[in-house]
Amino acid sequence: MIQLKVNGTSRQFDGDPDMPLLWYLRDILDMTGTKFGCGVGLCGACTVHVNGAATRSCSMTMKQAAGKNILTIEGLAAHGDHPVQKAWKANNVPQCGYCQSGQIMQAAALLKQKPKPTDHDIDEAMQGNICRCGTYQHIRQAIKQAAGVKA
Amino acid sequence: MSNVYQVSRRGFLEGLFSAGALILAAPLVPEILKGSEADNAAFHPGVYVGIQPDGKVIIVVHRSEMGTGIRTTLPMVLADELEADWKRVQIEQAIGDRKYGSQNTDGSNSIVGFYEPFRVAGATARTMLEAAAASKWNVPASECQAKNHEVVHSSSGRKLGFGELVADAAKQPVPKREDVHLKSPADFRYIGKEVPITDLDAIVTGQRAFGMDAKVPGMLFASIEHPPVLGGKVANVDDSEALKVKGVSKTVPIETFKGSNYMFNPLGGVAVIADNTWAAFQGRKKLKIDWDLGPHATYDSVTYKKELQETARKPGRAERQVGDVDAAFAKATKIIEAEYYVPHLAHAPMEPPVAVADYRDGKVTIWAPTQNPQAVQTTVAPAVGVKPEDVTCNVTLLGGGFGRKSKPDYCAEAAILSKQLGKPVKVVWSREDDLHFDYFHFVAAMYMKAAVNEKGLPTAWLGRSVYPPMLSGSDKPSYGGLGSMGFIDVPWEMADFRAENGMAQGHVRVGWLRSVANIPHAFAVHSFIDELAAAAGRDRVEYLLAALGSDRIIELGGGGRGGGRGGRGGANRPNPYPIDTARFKRIVEMVADQSGWGKKKSGNGHGYGIAVHRSFLSYVATVVEVEVDSKGGIRIPRVDTVVDAGTVVNPERVRAQFEGAAVFGASLALMGEITSGDGRIQQSNFHNYPVARINEAPFETHVTLVKSDAAPGGVGEPGVPPIAPAICNAVFAATGKRVRDLPLKKAKLV
Ligand code: FES
Ligand code: FES
């Protein structure tokens, strides 16, 4: 039996321990805010925080998630008012929106580590998150706004 | 027949509106579409607005949301004419139904086709509310004006809210079109303003469901092993190991489409059924299948490229001719030739194809991210032996589409499985499935030839383009057809012109991708004009303005096959979208100004390139700045784009489309390539089919929209075509290397 915490709630799982955390969240817990884009750690759509660190949930098995604290987009802020979410709204970042849960989780982790990121920091932290709609420029602006640094 | 009429609340609108609501429907066929594909829709009402007795305005959007903002933008148009308070507008997504007219969200056509009908629908409802108030107050209707969700009597200042007027308004005769007055642009409340998308909050909190998130109680999950080669069939399957995977319950064969015509139909294969997506994926890996591969197993991209290039060197079918290019070439003093090539590209929307189907008692309900819910109905119906009207297609948000999700093959797969299993089924495509079995953008080879005068300007122009037709796996080569997609509608001022199309055979599924044939055509035409300018040693901006020549309207006569989105005139109607060289020239001047053209010298690995292209009725000029490092790596510090799309409804979203198009165009130009070997696609995920990431995309893109009251043009696609040629022209300026084959990553720049 695998025990873990998802958005502060204790959970138990007795299915296939090799199941990626992504599919546990999506198919078992019905928490579909975390998206499937590539399944192999190449796109970032599935990004969640594991013990505070941005992690590709498609590439972490349930066995590896055991005992960890998982934070998903649904739990990022009680009212969708995390500074990153607010900046995302103020800058109208999403186009189709599909990649944005992952982008927001990645950006939130970045700002925790580097509250005043440079363009280079943003490139480094965000290059694992593909946006096929091409919202990168808006993403960069929103991160800077959330960080309170000059665009 | 009146343009707008009341519809009964029965039927497919049932449940959406409460009793006593005023509901209006307008026929969806805008003037410019008459005499074309929308004729069938002419007798069906389509744009719906309802006003509830509590004053809530419900607007039904029949176009799919895949990131353009259309779910917000079309309602803005209607709400504006209605004088509705945006806060009291509820937006509902239409199911697939012919009553709406065309729902196929492609061709950058949602605003082009439906701006006017949505305005008329809103204005008609407003007129009826005003008439209801006038009769209540017993005053002339001309003294009553709707304003922000209420009707006001001008002289007395009396007011009645929309909700209070609903019952009486519903009894008013529906006014004729000529008695409905559209607002003057100065009075627009929402049109031209920046309105955030309606799904914004739900998206940033992960609450908004996409197709991938659809769930029905009791649903099973399926993953399908498709034939590795188009048209292949299962010869033998051993599923014993697959069935041992925990969670896997069954495997189900799916028939391969019949004959050579794959169209929208499933590819066939073997489905693994499980109680979660992961188990279905795992089960699939354990299948042992022998395939009967069929004739396309020899498809090889290297050979195919040569075939197409050879065809492009021989005369093809003339699709538009003006003057006599052959005679002009015979007496020309200087001739320039070049060949260009664009490989297969994949759509790769972030959300792979996915659909949920629930077959029950001869009826099917689908939940899917689809650009074309009516095609879902007409494809699913024969696949499971029901009538199209027995297929209900619920349209979810699309996690990107780019043309891929116009094809409902994945929906048919889910329906077939649901019928067989007697349970709702969700079919999930992996990224590998998406890249192996896309409806790829076609491979295209182009041959260009021009005679130039003493100033280096083209006087005669021959363009030949070769690619296979879309949506047909015919056994013989055939014509792709040029359409008005950048090849017959070349805007340079020249006496002699011919555009030809050569035959090619398709070996994989081919479909349209964001801006379609404009991608290879703009690449060839705007690289070639840059080559002519280089040969003349002239500044590109100055040269383009000279090549565009006099202010004039270009008629696509002279044997032109028209079609596409070249602008539709007709015997009795003026074409609202003529090709206007003055609009081209204006944006060239504007983009030169905006980008600081000519202020910094190109060379030494740093350069600027320009391209100006019209597609989907919009004019776009782009300047790209590139830096090429000592290893040949390309960086794009800046893109400047000026767009003349006529009337713009939601400028902020339109600019976003052009920023996105710069990224999409950079992806395909720098790194986009799908190849086949032995009939199998050789790319499988984002490591070998890369798309631009934040550090590879243009660092900044500046978009300016030309202020215009002209009829609206498309905005979803037109930003893409100029990007690849502008990048390659910039690379030439930076390095002196001319890249004629995409993608750039294969070119030796140092
Ligand atoms: S789905 Fe996990 S990185 Fe793409
Ligand atoms: S917003 Fe569509 S993929 Fe990022």
Residue pLDDT, tens place only, B203-243: 999 999 999 999 999 999 999 999 999 999 999 999 999 99
DSSP B245: S
In this prediction, residue B10 has a pLDDT band, given cuts at 50, 70 and 90, of very low
CA gap B534, B158 in Å, rounded: 70
Using a CB–CB cutoff of 8 Å, tell me whether A73 touches chain B.
yes
β-bridge mates for residue B161, sequence order: B150
CATH fold label, B211-295+353-428 = Aldehyde Oxidoreductase; domain 4 (3.30.365)
Residue B35 has pLDDT above 70, yes or no: no
Residue B476 has pLDDT above 90, yes or no: no
Structure tokens at A87: 């900046």
Residue B567 has pLDDT above 70, yes or no: no
- CA B428-B429-B434 angle, to 5 degrees, is 160
Residue B636 — φ and ψ, nearest 5°?
-120, 95
Task: Kindly report the CATH number that applies to the domain delimited by B11-204.
Answer: 3.30.365.10
CA distances from A59 to A38, A40, A42, A55 (A): 10, 6, 10, 8
Using a CB–CB cutoff of 8 Å, tell me whether A121 touches chain B.
no
Contact A132 B701 (CB under 8 A): no
Q: What is the ipTM of this complex?
A: 0.98
Contact B694 A129 (CB under 8 A): yes
Query: Looking at B99-113, B658-672, B684-698, which range is the least confident one?
Result: B99-113
Residue B32 has pLDDT above 90, yes or no: no
Q: Output the pLDDT for position B271.
A: 98
**Average pLDDT score over residue span B603-612:** 96
CA distances from B739 to A57, B299, B534, B696 (A): 40, 26, 14, 19
Q: Quote the ligand 2 centre to B207 CA distance (angstroms).
A: 15
Contact A39 B431 (CB under 8 A): yes
Closest CA to A32 of B91, B277, B417, B93: B277
Q: Count Cβ neighbours within 10 Å for each residue of B568-595 and write b for 16 or more, e otherwise.
A: bbeeeeeebbbbbbebbbbbbbbbbebb
In this prediction, residue B47 has a pLDDT band, given cuts at 50, 70 and 90, of low
Q: Output the pLDDT for position B86.
A: 98
Structure tokens at B749: 């720049």
CB-based contacts of B6, cutoff 8 Å, min separation 6:
B22, B23, B24, B25, B170, B174
CA gap B456, B698 in Å, rounded: 32
Q: How far is B608 from chain A (nearest CA, A)?
A: 20
Pocket of ligand 2 (CB under 6 A): A 94-100, 131-133, 135; B 67, 350, 400
Residue B178 — φ and ψ, nearest 5°?
-70, -15
Contact A15 B247 (CB under 8 A): yes
Residue pLDDT, tens place only, B250-294: 999 999 998 777 889 999 999 999 999 999 999 999 999 999 999
Using a CB–CB cutoff of 8 Å, tell me whether B217 touches chain A.
no
Q: What percent of chain A has pLDDT over 90?
A: 98
CB-based contacts of B224, cutoff 8 Å, min separation 6:
B254, B269, B270, B271, B272, B284, B413, B427, B429, B433
Q: Output the pLDDT for position A73.
A: 98
**Smallest CA–CA distance from A38 into chain B, residue:** B431
Q: Output the pLDDT for position B9.
A: 40
Burial of B737 (0-12, 13-18, 19+ CB in 10 A): middle
Q: Output the pLDDT for position B31.
A: 36
- CA B369-B370-B373 angle, to 5 degrees, is 130
Residue B106 has pLDDT above 50, yes or no: yes
Task: Kindly report the CATH number that applies to the domain delimited by B301-345+439-746.
Answer: 3.30.365.10
CB-based contacts of B240, cutoff 8 Å, min separation 6:
none
Query: Looking at A69-73, B117-121, B275-279, B290-294, which range is the least confident one?
Result: B117-121
Q: Quote the ligand 1 centre to A48 CA distance (angstroms).
A: 11
Residue A127 has pLDDT above 60, yes or no: yes
Length of chain B: 750
Q: Output the pLDDT for position B173.
A: 85
Mean pLDDT of chain A: 97
CATH fold label, A2-75 = Ubiquitin-like (UB roll) (3.10.20)
Q: What percent of chain B has pLDDT over 70?
A: 91
Q: Output the pLDDT for position B686.
A: 98
Residue pLDDT, tens place only, B306-336: 999 999 999 999 999 999 999 999 999 999 9
In this prediction, residue B22 has a pLDDT band, given cuts at 50, 70 and 90, of low
Structurally, what CATH architecture does the domain formed by A83-147 represent? Orthogonal Bundle (1.10)
Contact B215 A32 (CB under 8 A): yes
Which chain A residues are Cβ-neighbours of B208 within 8 angstroms? 97
**Average pLDDT score over residue span B171-185:** 89
Structure tokens at B484: 């008005």
DSSP B397: B
Among A72, A88, A134, beta carbon nearest to B663: A134
First to last CA, chain B: 67
Among A38, A133, A138, beta carbon nearest to B400: A133
Residue B187 has pLDDT above 80, yes or no: yes
- Ligand with smallest separation from the Cα of A44: 1
Cis, bond preceding B743 (omega within 30 deg of 0): yes
Residue A11 has pLDDT above 90, yes or no: yes
**Average pLDDT score over residue span A56-81:** 97
In this prediction, residue B23 has a pLDDT band, given cuts at 50, 70 and 90, of low
Closest CA to B205 of A7, A53, A122, A19: A7
Asked if residues B2 and B177 have their Cβ atoms less than 8 Å apart, the reply is yes
Residue pLDDT, tens place only, B49-99: 888 888 989 898 999 999 999 999 999 999 999 999 999 999 989 888 877
Closest CA to A138 of B139, B133, B652: B652
Q: Output the pLDDT for position B167.
A: 87
Q: How far is B138 from chain A (nearest CA, A)?
A: 47
Query: Looking at B176-180, B202-206, B485-489, which range is the least confident one?
Result: B176-180
- Identity at A48, one-letter amino acid code: V
In chain A, which segments carry CATH 3.10.20.30? 2-75
Contact B66 A94 (CB under 8 A): no
Residue pLDDT, tens place only, B510-529: 999 999 999 999 999 999 99
Q: Is the CB of A37 under 6 A from ligand 1?
A: yes
Structure tokens at B341: 């090539």
pTM of the model: 0.94
Residue B568 has pLDDT above 90, yes or no: no
H or E segment at B640?
Answer: strand B634-644
Residue A28 has pLDDT above 60, yes or no: yes
Among A80, A88, A137, beta carbon nearest to B659: A137
Q: What percent of chain A has pLDDT over 70?
A: 100
